[in-house]
Chains A and B, each alone.
Chain A
Amino acid sequence: MNRRHVYILMAVFCFVILLVLAWNAPDLPSTIDRSQRSLKPWEHWPLGTDMNGRPLIEYATQGARVIAVPSFVAGALVALFGMIGGLIRCVQAPKLQAVLQFGGEIIGALPRMVVVLVVALLLPMDWRTLMPLAVVWAVLCAPGAIDEAGAVAARLGGTRFVEALKAHGFGAWRIYIHHIVVLNLRPVLVRQGAEAMMTVAFLEVALSYLAVVEDQSSFTHSDNLRSWADLLKEGYLWLALGIDSAHVLFVGLGLLGLVVMTATALTKAAEAR
């Protein structure tokens, strides 16, 4: 088993943990039980409890349910956009490339958080989930992915590379998908997708945290769900006020670390040999 296999296993393992957490999320949080407050993981398996006696595993699972699918969709979309951008560089379509460049300039010039907030504001209450924001985020990340994949395709030779392979008798599928996408664009596409996946998870936590500190409903999930931001908020009390909630902060950071590990392992697994 070489290093690439280790990274693949690591990425799959982390992502499966995320999915298992999401799958096991309860629909509603437990009721408050102050007699069980602030228990450590060894006192209340597996992650301990918060200041209201609620098990932290519920926060972990519900937060995973909020982010798992949207972040994966955002990552896949960014990789898809990048793939399209790379392939367009390999076909003779100057007008399409010009349109892409104009579109990319416009989207790339917009501060992402501002766009996300405007979209969040305009979303009807029933649509308030992370998915639409994740899709918007993916669109905002697309110009970067398209540029980078396009640059890789251009270094490869662009249309000349395709012509050369055609001269060797390869079919279109073999040329575009196997040689260009799988063998050459793969590292860029996977890295861009993994980064988008990670940043969507961070975006959810940030937006939920901002809403939680203002005692407002989050733009990313319904009120019956808890985000990982709730863990950070309670953990912050330990940092700022010395309240006994350090374990809550470490659980929150650990969950963010799980997302980072997934993205990093994916990127490493797809690196060029």
Chain B
Amino acid sequence: MKFWWIQPLARATVAFALPLLVPALITAMIWALPGNPAEIICPPSICTGGEELAARWNLDKGPFEFYTHWVSSAVQLDFGDSWRVLTGKPVIELMLLTIPNTLLLIGLALIPITLGSTLGAFQQPSKRWDPLLVFLNVLPVVVLALLAAAVVEINFAGAEDEGLGYWMRMIAAALTLGIADGALSGAILGNRSMFEQENQQRYVGISVLRGEGNFANTLPNLAGALVGQYRSRIVHLLSGAVIVEVIVRVDGFGALLWRGTLMQDFGVVLAAATVFATLSSGLLLFQAIVEVAQNLHQRRAPKIDLDEVQV
């Protein structure tokens, strides 16, 4: 307990390092591939002018130069141009088109997860429902996404970009994302067991004897763990968004990453992976801040000197 700050510090350090580490690793791997990186964009067998392209994409001066230039541009929101998805188009433009859809999708998907987490915190639903939750736990995202896509195609085919069709597509995709791969059942079961264990602590019993409620006492102590669970669920949703967006045909950031991967567009993949890592870093940093606040709160609250207590 004396070194409580180590864990939040580790998280904060990782949060700051991750957005730099991810492009560094990808850059290193691009140069580790057999052949010249410029040949990936412009294979010598089918195109000429590879040297000019290499100079244009800053690939001619080695990996370190490429990395430092890319990162310094990315800080100013210039993620370079797409190599193949839409050749020459700035990646930031593609991102601005797709990121709002993905954020909306994740936001909607968090609704069932948040409801599930809240139910779990209040020890609901009862354990009679566990078989259903276990069944939901093993539903793969690809199967549920197919079902969602079929429902949307049958009822709203052709209406993709606006109106009711767009919203039904988003809701179907969000429900898929919020239920599949154990997202919902994990939220319910995880929170239920966490609060169940905490409710067995002696301080909760004492607070009940004092006429206070369980929840108000356990919540401050579980804040860090709850934020950690929520963070991992959002990272999980970001992961699943790639599959759901392609199958349900949502024009989102995950679908852009998939297209970039299929077409070997390192420009798009590098930018997308870095943005995903930055989002994840933001969540990690938030968790670290909550953990610090929780620990400061715990150290401020006791009315007795903990050092005097003999355990």
Residues of A within 8 A of B (CB): 98, 101-102, 105-106, 108-115, 117-118, 120-122, 124, 198-199, 202, 205-206, 209-211, 213-214, 216, 229, 232, 235-236, 239-240, 253, 256, 260, 263-264
Contacts and interface: CB of A to CB of B under 8 A. Distances in A.
Contact of A118 (B10, B26, B254): B26
Interface stretch (B165-173, B203-211, B274-282, B293-301): B274-282
Contacts of A122: 26, 29-30, 33
A264 B134 CA distance: 10
A105 B10 contact: yes
Judged by DSSP, the binding face of A is: helix
Given A106-B18, A216-B262, A206 B284 contact: no
A111 B142 contact: no
B272 to A, nearest CB: 7
Given A109-B281, A236-B149, A209 B242 contact: no
The dominant DSSP class at the B interface is: helix
B143 to A, nearest CB: 7
14 contacts: A102-B10, A105-B14, A109-B280, A110-B18, A110-B276, A121-B260, A121-B261, A121-B269, A122-B30, A210-B242, A210-B243, A235-B146, A239-B147, A263-B138
Given A122-B30, A214-B262, A109 B247 contact: no
A109 B243 contact: no
A105 B276 contact: no
Q: Which 7 A-B pairs have the closest CB atoms?
A: A239-B150, A113-B239, A202-B140, A206-B142, A240-B150, A105-B14, A111-B239
Given A101-B10, A110-B22, A213-B247, 6 more contacts: A105-B10, A109-B280, A121-B269, A206-B141, A211-B262, A229-B142
Contacts of A105: 10-11, 14, 284
A132 to B, nearest CB: 13
A211 B254 CA distance: 14
B179 interface: no
B224 interface: no
Given A121-B264, A213-B247, A236-B149, A114 B257 contact: yes
B266 interface: yes
Contact of A264 (B138, B260, B280): B138
B142 A232 contact: yes
Interface string B145-171: 011011001100000000000000000
Nearest to A229: B142
B242 A232 contact: no
B185 to A, nearest CB: 13
B83 to A, nearest CB: 11
A98 B269 CA distance: 31
B142 A117 contact: no
Interface in B104-155: 138, 140-143, 146-147, 149-150, 153-154
B54 interface: no
Interface in B230-247: 232, 235-236, 238-240, 242-243, 246-247
Contacts of B257: 114, 117
Contact of A256 (B30, B140, B272): B140
B152 to A, nearest CB: 9
Contacts of B10: 98, 101-102, 105
A199 B180 CA distance: 12
**Which of B7, B146, B236 is packed against the most chain A CB atoms within 10 Å?**
B146
B266 to A, nearest CB: 7
B209 to A, nearest CB: 27
A114 B242 contact: yes
B273 interface: yes
Contacts of B34: 124
A73 to B, nearest CB: 20
B103 interface: no
A209 B238 contact: no
B17 interface: yes
Given A105-B14, A117-B261, A121-B264, A205 B146 contact: no
Contacts of B247: 209-210, 213
A256 B254 CA distance: 24
Interface centre among B30, B142, B258, B264 (most CB of A within 10 A): B142
Contacts of B18: 106, 109-110
Contact of A114 (B17, B29, B276, B284): B276
Contacts of A205: 140, 142
Contacts of B17: 106
Contact of B243 (A98, A101, A110, A206): A206
Given A106-B17, A109-B284, A209 B261 contact: no
Given A114-B239, A210-B247, A102 B14 contact: yes
